[in-house]
Amino acid sequence: MAKEKEIALINPTARFADLGGMEGPLEEVCNMLMHLKHPEVYKKLGVVPPRGFLLHGPPGSGKTLLAHAIAAAPEIVAGVSGESEERIRELFDRAVNSAPCIFFIDEIDAVTPKRETAQREMERRIVAQLLSSLDDLSQRELPAEVLVIGATNRPDALDPALRRAGRFDREICLGIPDEAARERILAVLCRKLTLAPEVELSVVAHKTPGYVGADLMALTREATMSAINRIFRGNRGERQGDRGRTAESPRRRRLPAERSPSSGRRAAQEPLRGRRGLRERP
């Protein structure tokens, strides 16, 4: 029973509405998902449906969030895993029995390095088992309604056999968002925040070249904490300046999140995760 719990399927809570600036990749993904929703079309045409695709891009670009949003689509269940050799076949069997199913392997490069450079025999066996399991999906008499998604920051580190047709049929790159995409990401991140009237997301987007979604989320949190700290500092000052008057409770105040001058300068200088030199393509 304990082993069964370890590979329990999950229902992710992320939604496409939580994604900003990913219109291009989302369109490609939706095309790949058609065989899960309409397998009868592929069967009638005698076409083998796509078996998987590879998401790659820099850290924090939204690969895992996108995979979870895909799996949270109606009538689709996701199994999220990064298991070793002896578990791979069992996980694939579980995915087939739970079809339609998304099988998501995060940081796939950690378990499927190039076999000629693998330092341990176990690593080579893991790659061989994953290749065999992917091939079995296509060779079944009734093609399984399973889509395998791999996510990696280092696509060149993967064993080349994984990137051949019939396995990961397509590669979708989530690159550094441009200015317009950053503004859409900020709009998603700030939709539940109370912003100061003078805050312009377009200005923040303009000052954050090289930032990915995770960087913008960190910047948003920093601005929010700056606003909260400012409110509490002001509240302490009121109590010290006029002890005879009851200070207004900070809980009753509006907490507008705004860009402090220091936050603006930091945003203009560099991404939080050190992606200096990474800029959107011209």
Smallest CA-to-CA distance from 34 within 64, 76, 72, 66 is with 76
| Domains 2-173 and 179-269 belong to one CATH topology | no
Asked whether 147 and 36 are in contact (CB, 8 A), the reply is yes
Domain extent listing, the chain: 2-173, 179-269
- Written as six digits, the tokens of 216 are 């913008």
Average pLDDT over residues 25-39: 74
Question: Could you tell me which residues come within 8 angstroms of residue 135 by beta carbon, excluding any fewer than 6 positions away?
Answer: 166, 167
Distance from C-alpha of 188 to C-alpha of 14, rounded to nearest angstrom: 13
Question: Could you tell me which residues come within 8 angstroms of residue 192 by beta carbon, excluding any fewer than 6 positions away?
Answer: none
Does the pLDDT at position 186 exceed 90? yes
pLDDT for the residue numbered 212: 92
Does the pLDDT at position 87 exceed 50? yes
Does the pLDDT at position 29 exceed 60? yes
Does the pLDDT at position 282 exceed 80? no
Average pLDDT over residues 12-17: 65
Confidence of residue 202 (pLDDT cuts 50, 70, 90): very high
Does the pLDDT at position 239 exceed 80? no
pLDDT in tens, 93-138: 888 888 888 888 888 887 787 877 766 777 788 888 888 888 888 7
Average pLDDT over residues 78-82: 46
pLDDT for the residue numbered 25: 81
Q: What is the CATH number of domain 2-173?
A: 3.40.50.300
DSSP for 108-147, written as a single string: GGGT-B-TTT-SSHHHHHHHHHHHHHHHHHHHSSS---EE
Query: Would you call the peptide bond into 100 cis, given omega within 30 degrees of 0 as the criterion?
Result: yes
Confidence of residue 252 (pLDDT cuts 50, 70, 90): very low
Average pLDDT over residues 60-76: 68
pLDDT for the residue numbered 226: 86
Most confident of 11-15, 117-121, 153-157: 153-157
- Written as six digits, the tokens of 260 are 């402090």
Q: What is the CATH number of domain 179-269?
A: 1.10.8.60
pLDDT for the residue numbered 263: 47
Task: Tell me what percent of the residues of the chain surpass a pLDDT of 90.
Answer: 11
Distance from C-alpha of 99 to C-alpha of 274, rounded to nearest angstrom: 41
